[in-house]
Structure 1
Protein backbone atom coordinates (compact mmCIF):
# COMPACT_ATOMS: atom_id res chain seq x y z
CA UNK A 1 0.00 0.00 0.00
CA UNK A 2 1.23 3.48 -0.89
CA UNK A 3 0.16 6.83 0.51
CA UNK A 4 1.01 10.50 0.51
CA UNK A 5 3.45 11.89 3.11
CA UNK A 6 0.51 12.75 5.34
CA UNK A 7 -3.06 11.44 5.35
CA UNK A 8 -4.41 13.53 8.24
CA UNK A 9 -7.21 15.21 6.30
CA UNK A 10 -8.04 12.10 4.33
CA UNK A 11 -8.27 9.99 7.49
CA UNK A 12 -10.49 12.57 9.14
CA UNK A 13 -12.84 12.62 6.15
CA UNK A 14 -12.91 8.82 5.96
CA UNK A 15 -13.84 8.65 9.65
CA UNK A 16 -16.67 11.14 9.08
CA UNK A 17 -17.79 9.18 6.03
CA UNK A 18 -17.93 5.88 7.92
CA UNK A 19 -19.92 7.49 10.74
CA UNK A 20 -22.50 9.01 8.42
CA UNK A 21 -22.78 6.59 5.50
CA UNK A 22 -25.98 4.59 5.26
CA UNK A 23 -25.04 0.97 4.74
CA UNK A 24 -26.65 -0.13 1.46
CA UNK A 25 -29.12 -3.00 1.48
CA UNK A 26 -28.07 -6.45 0.34
CA UNK A 27 -30.52 -6.71 -2.55
CA UNK A 28 -28.66 -9.09 -4.88
CA UNK A 29 -29.03 -12.85 -4.56
CA UNK A 30 -26.44 -15.54 -5.08
CA UNK A 31 -28.54 -18.47 -6.34
CA UNK A 32 -25.87 -21.07 -5.67
CA UNK A 33 -25.26 -20.21 -2.02
CA UNK A 34 -28.64 -18.72 -1.05
CA UNK A 35 -26.98 -15.59 0.29
CA UNK A 36 -27.43 -11.89 -0.34
CA UNK A 37 -24.89 -9.20 -1.11
CA UNK A 38 -24.76 -5.51 -2.04
CA UNK A 39 -24.44 -5.12 -5.82
CA UNK A 40 -21.65 -2.90 -7.14
CA UNK A 41 -23.99 -0.11 -8.26
CA UNK A 42 -25.41 0.19 -4.72
CA UNK A 43 -21.93 0.38 -3.22
CA UNK A 44 -21.03 3.17 -5.66
CA UNK A 45 -24.29 5.02 -4.93
CA UNK A 46 -23.73 4.90 -1.16
CA UNK A 47 -20.23 6.32 -1.59
CA UNK A 48 -21.26 9.09 -3.98
CA UNK A 49 -24.00 10.25 -1.62
CA UNK A 50 -21.48 11.20 1.07
CA UNK A 51 -17.93 11.22 -0.32
CA UNK A 52 -18.01 14.38 -2.47
CA UNK A 53 -19.11 16.65 0.39
CA UNK A 54 -16.18 15.37 2.45
CA UNK A 55 -13.61 15.96 -0.30
CA UNK A 56 -13.23 12.26 -1.04
CA UNK A 57 -13.00 10.62 -4.45
CA UNK A 58 -11.65 7.37 -5.86
CA UNK A 59 -10.43 5.71 -9.02
CA UNK A 60 -10.25 2.01 -9.83
CA UNK A 61 -7.75 0.77 -12.41
CA UNK A 62 -8.40 -2.62 -14.07
CA UNK A 63 -5.41 -4.97 -14.13
CA UNK A 64 -4.61 -8.15 -16.05
CA UNK A 65 -1.79 -10.58 -15.31
CA UNK A 66 -1.53 -13.94 -17.08
CA UNK A 67 -4.75 -15.76 -16.14
CA UNK A 68 -5.71 -13.22 -13.48
CA UNK A 69 -7.67 -9.99 -13.52
CA UNK A 70 -8.11 -7.46 -10.76
CA UNK A 71 -8.35 -3.90 -9.56
CA UNK A 72 -6.11 -1.26 -8.04
CA UNK A 73 -8.12 1.20 -5.91
CA UNK A 74 -6.93 4.70 -5.02
CA UNK A 75 -8.75 7.03 -2.60
CA UNK A 76 -7.94 10.74 -2.93
CA UNK A 77 -8.76 13.81 -0.85
CA UNK A 78 -9.22 17.40 -2.01
CA UNK A 79 -6.14 18.31 0.08
CA UNK A 80 -4.00 16.23 -2.28
CA UNK A 81 -3.58 13.33 0.13
CA UNK A 82 -4.15 9.81 -1.16
CA UNK A 83 -4.04 6.11 -0.30
CA UNK A 84 -3.22 3.59 -3.03
CA UNK A 85 -4.24 0.07 -2.04
CA UNK A 86 -2.37 -3.01 -3.19
CA UNK A 87 -3.83 -4.68 -6.30
CA UNK A 88 -6.53 -7.26 -5.67
CA UNK A 89 -6.23 -10.07 -8.23
CA UNK A 90 -8.48 -13.04 -8.88
CA UNK A 91 -7.86 -16.07 -11.10
CA UNK A 92 -10.05 -16.44 -14.18
CA UNK A 93 -10.86 -20.11 -14.62
CA UNK A 94 -13.18 -19.45 -17.55
CA UNK A 95 -11.15 -18.02 -20.41
CA UNK A 96 -14.03 -15.88 -21.67
CA UNK A 97 -15.03 -12.24 -21.60
CA UNK A 98 -17.88 -13.16 -19.26
CA UNK A 99 -15.53 -14.90 -16.84
CA UNK A 100 -13.14 -11.94 -16.79
CA UNK A 101 -16.03 -9.50 -16.42
CA UNK A 102 -17.49 -11.36 -13.45
CA UNK A 103 -14.11 -11.44 -11.70
CA UNK A 104 -13.57 -7.72 -12.32
CA UNK A 105 -17.01 -6.83 -10.98
CA UNK A 106 -16.37 -8.86 -7.84
CA UNK A 107 -12.92 -7.28 -7.40
CA UNK A 108 -14.33 -3.75 -7.82
CA UNK A 109 -17.11 -4.35 -5.31
CA UNK A 110 -14.87 -6.10 -2.78
CA UNK A 111 -12.04 -3.54 -2.81
CA UNK A 112 -14.30 -0.49 -2.90
CA UNK A 113 -16.34 -1.80 0.02
CA UNK A 114 -13.20 -2.59 2.01
CA UNK A 115 -11.62 0.81 1.31
CA UNK A 116 -14.68 2.78 2.44
CA UNK A 117 -15.81 0.47 5.23
CA UNK A 118 -19.00 -0.80 3.61
CA UNK A 119 -20.29 -4.25 4.55
CA UNK A 120 -21.24 -5.75 1.19
CA UNK A 121 -21.04 -9.49 1.94
CA UNK A 122 -22.39 -11.84 4.60
CA UNK A 123 -19.56 -12.08 7.13
CA UNK A 124 -20.37 -15.68 8.02
CA UNK A 125 -19.96 -16.78 4.40
CA UNK A 126 -16.62 -15.03 4.02
CA UNK A 127 -15.22 -16.28 7.30
CA UNK A 128 -16.33 -19.84 6.64
CA UNK A 129 -14.75 -19.97 3.21
CA UNK A 130 -11.51 -18.23 4.10
CA UNK A 131 -10.88 -20.07 7.36
CA UNK A 132 -10.64 -16.91 9.45
CA UNK A 133 -9.60 -17.87 12.97
CA UNK A 134 -8.48 -16.00 16.06
CA UNK A 135 -4.76 -16.09 16.69
CA UNK A 136 -4.17 -18.38 19.64
CA UNK A 137 -0.52 -17.60 20.21
CA UNK A 138 2.14 -15.09 19.34
CA UNK A 139 4.40 -17.63 17.62
CA UNK A 140 2.26 -19.54 15.13
CA UNK A 141 3.73 -22.58 13.41
CA UNK A 142 4.13 -22.50 9.61
CA UNK A 143 0.85 -23.37 7.92
CA UNK A 144 0.65 -26.81 6.35
CA UNK A 145 -0.29 -26.92 2.69
CA UNK A 146 -3.33 -28.86 1.51
CA UNK A 147 -2.73 -32.40 0.32
CA UNK A 148 -3.56 -33.60 -3.19
CA UNK A 149 -6.28 -35.81 -1.71
CA UNK A 150 -7.96 -32.86 0.01
CA UNK A 151 -7.80 -30.76 -3.15
CA UNK A 152 -9.26 -33.60 -5.22
CA UNK A 153 -12.09 -33.97 -2.69
CA UNK A 154 -12.88 -30.25 -2.92
CA UNK A 155 -12.97 -30.34 -6.73
CA UNK A 156 -15.29 -33.35 -6.60
CA UNK A 157 -17.60 -31.39 -4.31
CA UNK A 158 -17.66 -28.46 -6.74
CA UNK A 159 -18.77 -30.88 -9.45
CA UNK A 160 -21.38 -32.56 -7.24
CA UNK A 161 -22.89 -29.23 -6.17
CA UNK A 162 -23.01 -27.98 -9.75
CA UNK A 163 -24.88 -31.12 -10.79
CA UNK A 164 -27.32 -30.80 -7.89
CA UNK A 165 -28.07 -27.15 -8.63
CA UNK A 166 -27.77 -27.31 -12.40
CA UNK A 167 -25.11 -24.60 -12.27
CA UNK A 168 -21.69 -23.85 -13.70
CA UNK A 169 -18.91 -25.68 -11.84
CA UNK A 170 -16.33 -23.00 -12.74
CA UNK A 171 -18.59 -20.24 -11.44
CA UNK A 172 -19.08 -22.05 -8.15
CA UNK A 173 -15.32 -22.54 -7.80
CA UNK A 174 -14.66 -18.86 -8.62
CA UNK A 175 -17.12 -17.76 -5.96
CA UNK A 176 -15.64 -19.96 -3.25
CA UNK A 177 -12.07 -18.91 -4.09
CA UNK A 178 -13.06 -15.25 -4.08
CA UNK A 179 -14.70 -15.59 -0.68
CA UNK A 180 -11.68 -17.45 0.64
CA UNK A 181 -9.29 -14.88 -0.89
CA UNK A 182 -7.43 -17.82 -2.44
CA UNK A 183 -5.86 -17.25 -5.84
CA UNK A 184 -5.11 -20.91 -6.47
CA UNK A 185 -6.59 -23.92 -4.71
CA UNK A 186 -3.39 -25.80 -5.54
CA UNK A 187 -1.46 -23.34 -3.35
CA UNK A 188 -4.03 -23.14 -0.54
CA UNK A 189 -3.26 -24.13 3.04
CA UNK A 190 -4.76 -27.18 4.70
CA UNK A 191 -6.88 -24.93 6.93
CA UNK A 192 -8.26 -23.02 3.96
CA UNK A 193 -9.14 -26.17 2.01
CA UNK A 194 -10.66 -27.86 5.07
CA UNK A 195 -12.88 -24.84 5.65
CA UNK A 196 -13.89 -24.71 1.99
CA UNK A 197 -14.72 -28.42 2.17
CA UNK A 198 -16.85 -27.78 5.26
CA UNK A 199 -18.67 -24.98 3.45
CA UNK A 200 -19.31 -27.19 0.44
CA UNK A 201 -20.54 -30.05 2.65
CA UNK A 202 -23.14 -27.74 4.17
CA UNK A 203 -24.20 -26.44 0.76
CA UNK A 204 -24.48 -29.94 -0.71
CA UNK A 205 -26.53 -31.11 2.28
CA UNK A 206 -28.93 -28.18 1.85
CA UNK A 207 -29.21 -28.82 -1.88
CA UNK A 208 -30.03 -32.51 -1.30
CA UNK A 209 -32.55 -31.57 1.37
CA UNK A 210 -34.22 -29.19 -1.07
CA UNK A 211 -34.43 -31.91 -3.71
CA UNK A 212 -36.01 -34.32 -1.22
CA UNK A 213 -38.65 -31.76 -0.27
CA UNK A 214 -39.42 -31.09 -3.92
CA UNK A 215 -39.80 -34.81 -4.61
CA UNK A 216 -42.30 -35.08 -1.79
Structure 2
Protein backbone atom coordinates (compact mmCIF):
# COMPACT_ATOMS: atom_id res chain seq x y z
CA UNK A 1 0.00 0.00 0.00
CA UNK A 2 1.24 3.50 -0.88
CA UNK A 3 -0.01 6.74 0.71
CA UNK A 4 0.57 10.46 0.79
CA UNK A 5 2.65 11.82 3.69
CA UNK A 6 -0.54 12.68 5.58
CA UNK A 7 -3.75 10.65 5.39
CA UNK A 8 -5.82 12.09 8.25
CA UNK A 9 -8.38 13.73 5.96
CA UNK A 10 -8.84 10.73 3.69
CA UNK A 11 -9.25 8.44 6.72
CA UNK A 12 -11.90 10.75 8.21
CA UNK A 13 -13.83 10.65 4.95
CA UNK A 14 -13.61 6.86 4.70
CA UNK A 15 -15.00 6.61 8.23
CA UNK A 16 -17.93 8.82 7.23
CA UNK A 17 -18.63 6.67 4.17
CA UNK A 18 -18.48 3.43 6.14
CA UNK A 19 -20.79 4.80 8.83
CA UNK A 20 -23.44 5.49 6.17
CA UNK A 21 -23.16 2.24 4.21
CA UNK A 22 -25.68 -0.56 4.64
CA UNK A 23 -26.10 -3.90 2.94
CA UNK A 24 -26.10 -3.65 -0.84
CA UNK A 25 -28.76 -5.67 -2.56
CA UNK A 26 -27.57 -8.70 -4.54
CA UNK A 27 -28.81 -8.22 -8.10
CA UNK A 28 -27.27 -11.18 -9.96
CA UNK A 29 -27.64 -14.98 -9.66
CA UNK A 30 -24.81 -17.52 -9.96
CA UNK A 31 -26.65 -20.64 -11.27
CA UNK A 32 -23.96 -23.13 -10.28
CA UNK A 33 -23.54 -22.03 -6.69
CA UNK A 34 -27.29 -21.31 -6.46
CA UNK A 35 -26.38 -18.03 -4.79
CA UNK A 36 -26.81 -14.31 -5.41
CA UNK A 37 -24.19 -11.59 -5.47
CA UNK A 38 -24.00 -7.82 -5.92
CA UNK A 39 -22.61 -6.65 -9.26
CA UNK A 40 -20.07 -3.86 -9.61
CA UNK A 41 -22.84 -1.60 -10.99
CA UNK A 42 -24.97 -2.17 -7.88
CA UNK A 43 -22.04 -1.39 -5.58
CA UNK A 44 -21.01 1.76 -7.46
CA UNK A 45 -24.56 3.08 -7.56
CA UNK A 46 -24.61 2.96 -3.77
CA UNK A 47 -21.02 4.02 -3.08
CA UNK A 48 -20.17 6.76 -5.61
CA UNK A 49 -22.56 9.42 -4.25
CA UNK A 50 -21.30 8.77 -0.71
CA UNK A 51 -17.68 9.13 -1.80
CA UNK A 52 -18.50 12.38 -3.62
CA UNK A 53 -20.41 13.73 -0.62
CA UNK A 54 -17.39 13.06 1.60
CA UNK A 55 -14.89 14.68 -0.82
CA UNK A 56 -13.40 11.41 -2.06
CA UNK A 57 -12.64 10.28 -5.60
CA UNK A 58 -12.19 6.66 -6.65
CA UNK A 59 -9.92 5.29 -9.37
CA UNK A 60 -9.53 1.62 -10.32
CA UNK A 61 -6.70 1.14 -12.79
CA UNK A 62 -6.72 -2.07 -14.89
CA UNK A 63 -3.42 -3.96 -14.69
CA UNK A 64 -1.81 -6.72 -16.75
CA UNK A 65 1.37 -8.36 -15.46
CA UNK A 66 3.32 -10.80 -17.66
CA UNK A 67 5.25 -13.42 -15.73
CA UNK A 68 7.43 -16.20 -17.10
CA UNK A 69 4.66 -18.77 -17.50
CA UNK A 70 1.50 -16.82 -16.75
CA UNK A 71 -0.41 -13.61 -17.28
CA UNK A 72 -2.13 -11.92 -14.33
CA UNK A 73 -4.97 -9.44 -14.73
CA UNK A 74 -6.74 -7.23 -12.21
CA UNK A 75 -6.83 -3.68 -10.94
CA UNK A 76 -5.21 -1.21 -8.53
CA UNK A 77 -7.64 0.87 -6.42
CA UNK A 78 -6.85 4.38 -5.11
CA UNK A 79 -8.90 6.75 -2.96
CA UNK A 80 -8.11 10.49 -3.34
CA UNK A 81 -9.25 13.24 -0.99
CA UNK A 82 -9.83 16.77 -2.28
CA UNK A 83 -6.99 17.90 -0.01
CA UNK A 84 -4.55 15.95 -2.17
CA UNK A 85 -4.14 13.11 0.32
CA UNK A 86 -4.52 9.58 -1.05
CA UNK A 87 -4.31 5.87 -0.26
CA UNK A 88 -3.22 3.53 -3.04
CA UNK A 89 -4.05 -0.10 -2.23
CA UNK A 90 -2.20 -3.22 -3.32
CA UNK A 91 -3.55 -4.55 -6.66
CA UNK A 92 -5.85 -7.57 -6.71
CA UNK A 93 -4.68 -9.87 -9.53
CA UNK A 94 -5.85 -13.20 -10.94
CA UNK A 95 -4.23 -15.60 -13.39
CA UNK A 96 -5.60 -15.52 -16.92
CA UNK A 97 -6.96 -18.99 -17.77
CA UNK A 98 -5.74 -19.58 -21.31
CA UNK A 99 -7.01 -23.15 -21.41
CA UNK A 100 -10.64 -22.11 -21.14
CA UNK A 101 -10.71 -21.24 -24.88
CA UNK A 102 -12.89 -18.22 -24.20
CA UNK A 103 -12.92 -14.94 -26.07
CA UNK A 104 -9.87 -13.09 -24.71
CA UNK A 105 -11.63 -9.72 -24.48
CA UNK A 106 -14.59 -11.19 -22.60
CA UNK A 107 -12.39 -13.16 -20.24
CA UNK A 108 -10.10 -10.19 -19.49
CA UNK A 109 -13.05 -7.87 -18.92
CA UNK A 110 -14.67 -10.39 -16.60
CA UNK A 111 -11.53 -10.71 -14.47
CA UNK A 112 -11.06 -6.93 -14.24
CA UNK A 113 -14.70 -6.42 -13.23
CA UNK A 114 -14.38 -9.16 -10.61
CA UNK A 115 -11.18 -7.55 -9.26
CA UNK A 116 -12.79 -4.09 -9.09
CA UNK A 117 -15.85 -5.44 -7.29
CA UNK A 118 -13.96 -7.32 -4.60
CA UNK A 119 -11.25 -4.68 -4.14
CA UNK A 120 -13.83 -1.96 -3.50
CA UNK A 121 -15.90 -4.18 -1.21
CA UNK A 122 -12.84 -5.13 0.85
CA UNK A 123 -11.48 -1.58 1.10
CA UNK A 124 -14.77 -0.05 2.31
CA UNK A 125 -15.93 -3.08 4.30
CA UNK A 126 -19.03 -3.46 2.16
CA UNK A 127 -21.58 -6.16 2.96
CA UNK A 128 -23.45 -7.47 -0.08
CA UNK A 129 -25.95 -9.63 1.82
CA UNK A 130 -29.58 -9.97 0.78
CA UNK A 131 -32.02 -7.22 1.74
CA UNK A 132 -34.87 -8.92 3.60
CA UNK A 133 -36.43 -5.84 5.17
CA UNK A 134 -38.50 -4.00 2.59
CA UNK A 135 -39.00 -1.00 4.87
CA UNK A 136 -35.28 -0.63 5.42
CA UNK A 137 -34.62 -0.83 1.69
CA UNK A 138 -37.16 1.88 0.95
CA UNK A 139 -35.81 4.13 3.68
CA UNK A 140 -32.25 3.71 2.46
CA UNK A 141 -33.18 4.54 -1.10
CA UNK A 142 -35.04 7.71 0.00
CA UNK A 143 -32.14 8.86 2.14
CA UNK A 144 -29.68 8.23 -0.67
CA UNK A 145 -31.74 10.31 -3.07
CA UNK A 146 -31.86 13.22 -0.62
CA UNK A 147 -28.09 13.09 -0.10
CA UNK A 148 -27.09 13.10 -3.77
CA UNK A 149 -25.57 16.37 -4.92
CA UNK A 150 -26.44 18.10 -8.16
CA UNK A 151 -23.45 16.72 -10.04
CA UNK A 152 -24.41 13.16 -9.25
CA UNK A 153 -28.03 13.80 -10.26
CA UNK A 154 -26.82 14.98 -13.65
CA UNK A 155 -24.54 11.98 -13.94
CA UNK A 156 -27.36 9.59 -13.13
CA UNK A 157 -29.67 11.24 -15.64
CA UNK A 158 -27.03 10.73 -18.31
CA UNK A 159 -26.34 7.15 -17.26
CA UNK A 160 -29.97 6.18 -17.32
CA UNK A 161 -30.95 7.78 -20.58
CA UNK A 162 -33.03 5.83 -23.09
CA UNK A 163 -29.92 4.56 -24.86
CA UNK A 164 -28.54 3.13 -21.64
CA UNK A 165 -31.87 1.51 -20.84
CA UNK A 166 -31.71 -0.29 -24.18
CA UNK A 167 -28.16 -1.32 -23.39
CA UNK A 168 -29.21 -2.71 -20.01
CA UNK A 169 -31.98 -4.71 -21.67
CA UNK A 170 -29.41 -6.17 -24.02
CA UNK A 171 -27.11 -7.05 -21.15
CA UNK A 172 -29.96 -8.82 -19.34
CA UNK A 173 -30.72 -10.86 -22.47
CA UNK A 174 -27.04 -11.76 -22.85
CA UNK A 175 -26.94 -12.86 -19.22
CA UNK A 176 -30.01 -15.07 -19.76
CA UNK A 177 -28.39 -16.73 -22.78
CA UNK A 178 -25.15 -17.14 -20.83
CA UNK A 179 -26.96 -18.97 -18.02
CA UNK A 180 -28.73 -21.23 -20.56
CA UNK A 181 -25.35 -22.19 -22.01
CA UNK A 182 -23.98 -22.89 -18.54
CA UNK A 183 -26.92 -25.14 -17.67
CA UNK A 184 -26.56 -27.06 -20.94
CA UNK A 185 -22.97 -28.05 -20.19
CA UNK A 186 -23.73 -28.63 -16.51
CA UNK A 187 -26.53 -31.10 -17.34
CA UNK A 188 -24.31 -32.91 -19.85
CA UNK A 189 -21.60 -33.41 -17.24
CA UNK A 190 -24.05 -34.57 -14.57
CA UNK A 191 -25.80 -36.98 -16.96
CA UNK A 192 -22.45 -38.56 -17.72
CA UNK A 193 -21.57 -39.27 -14.11
CA UNK A 194 -19.58 -36.19 -13.12
CA UNK A 195 -19.82 -34.92 -9.56
CA UNK A 196 -20.81 -31.26 -9.84
CA UNK A 197 -19.52 -30.41 -6.35
CA UNK A 198 -16.07 -31.70 -7.28
CA UNK A 199 -16.15 -29.71 -10.53
CA UNK A 200 -17.21 -26.55 -8.67
CA UNK A 201 -14.34 -27.03 -6.22
CA UNK A 202 -11.93 -27.51 -9.14
CA UNK A 203 -13.03 -24.24 -10.77
CA UNK A 204 -12.78 -22.31 -7.49
CA UNK A 205 -9.29 -23.70 -6.94
CA UNK A 206 -8.22 -22.69 -10.45
CA UNK A 207 -9.55 -19.15 -9.89
CA UNK A 208 -7.81 -18.84 -6.53
CA UNK A 209 -11.03 -18.36 -4.54
CA UNK A 210 -12.68 -20.40 -1.80
CA UNK A 211 -16.08 -20.83 -3.45
CA UNK A 212 -17.43 -20.93 -7.00
CA UNK A 213 -19.96 -18.28 -5.98
CA UNK A 214 -17.11 -15.78 -6.28
CA UNK A 215 -16.43 -16.72 -9.93
CA UNK A 216 -17.99 -14.71 -12.75
CA UNK A 217 -20.49 -16.54 -15.00
CA UNK A 218 -18.38 -15.97 -18.12
CA UNK A 219 -15.47 -17.74 -16.46
CA UNK A 220 -17.74 -20.58 -15.29
CA UNK A 221 -19.03 -21.08 -18.83
CA UNK A 222 -15.49 -21.32 -20.17
CA UNK A 223 -14.51 -23.99 -17.65
CA UNK A 224 -17.62 -26.13 -18.05
CA UNK A 225 -17.57 -25.91 -21.83
CA UNK A 226 -13.97 -27.07 -21.88
CA UNK A 227 -14.70 -29.93 -19.45
CA UNK A 228 -17.76 -30.99 -21.44
CA UNK A 229 -15.87 -31.00 -24.75
CA UNK A 230 -13.07 -33.09 -23.23
CA UNK A 231 -15.59 -35.57 -21.82
CA UNK A 232 -17.46 -35.76 -25.14
CA UNK A 233 -14.20 -36.53 -26.95
CA UNK A 234 -13.34 -39.23 -24.41
CA UNK A 235 -16.76 -40.87 -24.75
CA UNK A 236 -16.46 -40.94 -28.55
CA UNK A 237 -13.00 -42.51 -28.32
CA UNK A 238 -14.29 -45.19 -25.94
CA UNK A 239 -17.23 -45.89 -28.25
CA UNK A 240 -14.87 -46.26 -31.21
CA UNK A 241 -12.62 -48.62 -29.23
CA UNK A 242 -15.64 -50.78 -28.34
CA UNK A 243 -16.71 -50.97 -32.00
CA UNK A 244 -13.18 -51.88 -33.09
CA UNK A 245 -12.84 -54.58 -30.45
CA UNK A 246 -16.20 -56.06 -31.44
CA UNK A 247 -15.15 -56.29 -35.07
CA UNK A 248 -11.81 -57.93 -34.14
CA UNK A 249 -13.64 -60.61 -32.15
CA UNK A 250 -15.96 -61.28 -35.07
CA UNK A 251 -19.11 -60.21 -33.29
CA UNK A 252 -21.48 -58.02 -35.23
CA UNK A 253 -22.40 -54.91 -33.23
CA UNK A 254 -26.02 -54.64 -32.16
CA UNK A 255 -27.93 -51.91 -33.96
CA UNK A 256 -30.88 -51.08 -31.76
CA UNK A 257 -34.19 -50.47 -33.47
CA UNK A 258 -33.45 -52.65 -36.51
Per the normalisation by structure 1, the TM-score is 0.58
After the TM superposition, which parts of structure 1 deviate over 3 Å for at least 4 consecutive aligned residues? 159-162
Q: 2:42 maps to which residue?
A: 42
- Asked if the contact 1:23–1:46 (Cα under 8 Å) also holds between the matched residues in 2, the reply is no
Change (3 A) 1:27 1:45: same
What is the CA–CA distance in structure 1 between the aligned matches of 2:205 and 2:32, rounded to whole Å?
Answer: 9
1:92-131 paired onto structure 2 within 5 Å:
92-93=96-97, 94=100, 96-120=104-128
Which residue number corresponds to residue 14 of structure 2?
14
SS in 2 for 1:180: coil
Secondary structure of the residue aligned to 1:42 is: helix
Structure 1 residues 108 and 161: alpha-carbon distance in aligned structure 2, compared to 1, 3 A threshold: farther
Query: Which residue number corresponds to residue 182 of structure 2?
Result: none
Contact 2:22 2:127 survives alignment (8 Å): no
Q: Which residue of 2 aligns with 1:54?
A: 54
1:163 paired with 2:193, answer no
Structure 1 unmatched ranges of 5 or more: 123-158, 182-216
Change (3 A) 1:68 1:3: same
Does residue 68 in structure 1 map to residue 72 in structure 2?
A: yes
Deviation at 1:21, TM superposition (A): 1.9
Larger Rg: 2
Match of 1:77 in 2: 81
Structure 1 CA distance for aligned equivalents of residues 59 and 207 of structure 2 = 25
**Aligned equivalent of 2:203:** 173
Aligned residue number for residue 2 of structure 2: 2
Aligned equivalents of 2:88 and 2:188: distance in 1?
Answer: 38
Q: Distance in 2 between matches of 1:121 and 1:105?
A: 19
Cα distance change, pair 110–20 in 1 and its aligned pair in 2 (3 A): same
Aligned length: 144
Question: Following TM superposition, by how much is the alpha carbon of 1:57 offset from its aligned partner in structure 2, in angstroms?
Answer: 1.0
Aligned-residue Cα RMSD (Å) equals 3.2
TM-score, normalising length from structure 2? 0.49
